[in-house]
Homo-oligomer: A and B are copies of this chain.
Amino acid sequence: MLRISKLTDYGVVLMAELARDPAGSTQNARELAERTNLPFPMVGKVLKTLAREGLLVSHRGSKGGYGLAQPPDQISVAKVIAALEGPVAITECGAAPGVCEHEPSCHVRTPMERVSAVVAQSLERVTLADLVHPSDIIPLEDLGVR
């Protein structure tokens, strides 16, 4: 299935939601939970991580909340995924060298890393700006497909 975790999925949805608002505005965790229909505790957890990773700026106290650290077209889906579950890699071995015990005898390592790289590139090409307008279909060409 090649799936991302729900936490990461929430992260993408929340970042996109923030990207829908005017630049510089902020929203608090509760507002975001309501607008996206996601469980509030989860939303808080995800936003905290994203802020710690530098993708969001946070403001505490009354009237506090979160805002995007960069313009929507500067934040790729790959960045969001990386912030929440580490670098995009299809296999264990791809994430860090020396982890896989089969490394010396593995015949597919190099090409598979290549495949990982392509998947990563696809995700790097899609930004939050591309996600905010559901009616716009992103041309395949813009996603790197000939």
Contact = CB atoms under 8 A, between A and B. Distances in A.
A12 B108 CA distance: 8
Given A13-B108, A37-B102, A89 B2 contact: yes
Contact of A126 (B2, B81, B111, B143): B111
Interface string A80-92: 0100011111111
A109 interface: yes
A118 B137 contact: no
Given A3-B90, A102-B38, A132-B107, A119 B123 contact: yes
B134 A1 contact: no
B77 A115 contact: yes
Interface in A105-119: 105-112, 114-115, 118-119
Contacts of A145: 118, 121, 144
Closest 10 CB pairs between A and B? A118-B143, A118-B122, A16-B108, A110-B134, A111-B131, A108-B131, A1-B85, A144-B145, A37-B105, A1-B86
15 contacts: A1-B87, A1-B88, A1-B89, A2-B3, A2-B4, A3-B91, A4-B91, A16-B107, A36-B105, A107-B131, A107-B134, A108-B131, A111-B134, A114-B137, A119-B122
Interface of A: 1-4, 6, 9, 12-13, 16-17, 20, 36-38, 77, 81, 85-92, 95, 102, 105-112, 114-115, 118-119, 121-123, 126, 130-132, 134-138, 140-141, 143-146
